[in-house]
């Protein structure tokens, strides 16, 4: 029997294309695992009214380890319009299965490494004062609180009277008191001390374990005094146990500017759910974009690894496949780190580095050409060819 069982959830669109590529790499590197397929995504919303079926939860409960591709999400009305007519009057409401999974299993620590691969033509470059070019080496790991904050789902349009009344106890609500219910939308930013503490602690532990010299809390405490303030307070508390690691604090807006000025100055960055989402996409843009952005959603009991990109529907139907499998493959390497197989993970990352820097086999995004059937004529490699090249280097 294999030592590990991985629940594979390809999901929608290009998730179905890239996930099997990651499994091929895991097999090639000699990971002792078996794989069980689980249903997730749009198809299951349409046919069953549930994008995260109970049978998928049962598999995750049992095996604790997941690889996830991507899902398609659509706005409320469109979602209802695509639902099987037999289910339409049952009051079902579409929800994002990946957000639901993070909350259900308290996968509260999201890790998103953004590291430059040498020789990647998509790497960020900046102009030097003498007119030359300079390519800073980016090595940033974002720790995003994954279950709370503005994405916690506590929101209303036309909030019920009790909610309005409760808000009216705050002096700042006076400015909105005259707004009719249907014209009033509220999304709530909830932070708990426990979750702030956990994400900051994991960030510091990671910094220590991997030799980073700083942890930067990226929030907005001058405006969001309560929530961002709580994150900063916990960071100062945790820092006491990590004297060798500097604690820095940046505001999200300033951070978005600084990251193109001096990205090499940052190490571990920790942020709440939405700011972590934003800042991790921004850093990913410096190191190759969505085709390279990997992530792990980690709880005490269960962990699920996924590329940060979505289902890219416009590329899903193209055959041969054109999308970059590297984000998914690097997510699988993170899974290996998680189960204590870091040597294998490093071999995968080294193989990716070689393939990227040699530049012989590149998907359209690495060639900086438009994605589409024409891409192959212009020298782009298929998804499978990139995986093959990586496997050959293992």
Binding residues for Mg ion, per CB under 5 A? 277
Q: What are the residues whose beta carbons fall under 8 Å from the beta carbon of 283, sequence distance 6 or more?
A: 112, 114, 138, 140, 142, 259, 263, 269
Rounded CA-CA distance 267/312 in Å is 30
Q: Which stretch binds ligand NAI (CB under 6 A): 49-57, 123-131, 310-318, 334-342?
A: 310-318
State yes or no: residue 146 binds ligand NAI (CB under 6 A). no
Residue 291 contact partner, candidates ligand NAI, Mg ion, none, CB within 5 to 8 A by sort of partner: ligand NAI
For ligand NAI, the closer of residues 72 and 250 by Cβ is 72
Quote the DSSP letter at residue 149. Answer: B
Q: Is 97 in the site for ligand NAI (CB under 6 A)?
A: no
Closest approach of ligand NAI to the CB of residue 96, in Å = 8
Residue facing ligand NAI at closest CB distance: 310
Q: Does 98 bind ligand NAI (CB under 6 A)?
A: yes
Residue 179: phi and psi, rounded to 5, are -80, 125
H/E segment holding residue 343: helix 342-358
Q: Considering CB distances under 5 to 8 angstroms, the limit depending on partner class, which of ligand NAI, Mg ion, none binds residue 288?
A: none
Q: Does 302 bind ligand NAI (CB under 6 A)?
A: no
In this chain, which residue has its C-beta nearest to Mg ion? Answer: 277
Smallest distance, Å, CB 178 to ligand NAI?
35
Instruction: Please give the size of the binding site for ligand NAI, defined by CB under 6 A.
Output: 21
Chain centre distance of CA 102: 11
311 binds ligand NAI (CB under 6 A): yes
DSSP for 44-100, written as a single string: HHHHHS-SS-HHHHHHHHHH-EEEEEE-----HHHHHHHS-GGGTTS------HHHH
Question: What is the spatial distance between Cα 371 and Cα 390, in angstroms, rounded to a whole number?
Answer: 21
Residue 12 or 341: the one with the smaller Cβ distance to Mg ion is: 12
66 binds ligand NAI (CB under 6 A): no
């Amino acid at each position: 029997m294999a030592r590990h069982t991985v629940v594979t959830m390809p999901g929608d669109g290009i998730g179905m294309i890239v996930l099997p590529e990651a499994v091929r790499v895991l097999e090639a590197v000699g990971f002792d695992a078996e794989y069980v397929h689980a249903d997730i995504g749009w198809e299951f919303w349409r046919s069953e009214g549930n994008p995260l079926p109970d049978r998928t939860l049962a598999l995750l409960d049992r095996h604790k380890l997941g690889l996830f591709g991507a899902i398609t999400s659509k706005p409320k009305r469109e979602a209802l319009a695509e639902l099987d007519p037999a289910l339409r009057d049952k009051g079902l409401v579409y929800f994002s299965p990946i957000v639901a999974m993070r909350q259900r299993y308290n996968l509260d620590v999201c890790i998103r490494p953004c590291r430059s691969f040498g020789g990647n033509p998509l790497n960020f470059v900046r102009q030097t004062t003498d007119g030359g070019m300079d390519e800073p080496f980016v090595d940033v790991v974002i720790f995003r609180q994954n279950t709370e904050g503005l994405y916690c789902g506590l929101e209303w349009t036309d909030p019920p009277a009790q909610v309005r009344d409760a808000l009216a106890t705050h002096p700042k609500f006076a400015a909105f008191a005259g707004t009719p219910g249907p014209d009033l939308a509220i999304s709530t930013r909830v932070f708990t001390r426990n979750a702030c503490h956990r994400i900051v602690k994991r960030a510091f532990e990671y910094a220590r374990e991997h030799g980073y010299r700083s942890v930067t809390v990226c929030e907005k405490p001058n405006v969001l005094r309560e929530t961002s303030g709580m994150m900063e307070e916990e960071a100062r508390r945790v820092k006491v146990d990590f004297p060798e690691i500097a604690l820095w604090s940046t505001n999200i807006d300033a951070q978005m500017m600084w990251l193109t000025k001096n990205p090499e100055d940052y190490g571990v960055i920790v942020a709440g759910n939405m700011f972590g989402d934003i800042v991790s996409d921004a850093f990913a843009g410096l190191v190759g974009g969505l085709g390279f952005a990997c992530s792990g959603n980690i709880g005490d009991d269960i962990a699920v690894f996924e590329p940060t990109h979505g289902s890219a529907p416009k590329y899903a139907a193209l055959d041969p496949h054109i999308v970059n499998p590297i984000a998914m493959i690097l997510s699988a390497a993170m899974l290996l780190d998680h189960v204590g197989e870091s040597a294998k993970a490093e071999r995968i990352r080294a193989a990716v580095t070689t393939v990227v820097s040699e530049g012989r086999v590149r998907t359209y995004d690495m060639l900086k050409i438009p994605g589409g059937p024409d891409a192959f004529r212009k020298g782009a490699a298929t998804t499978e060819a990139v995986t093959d090249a990586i496997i050959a280097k293992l």
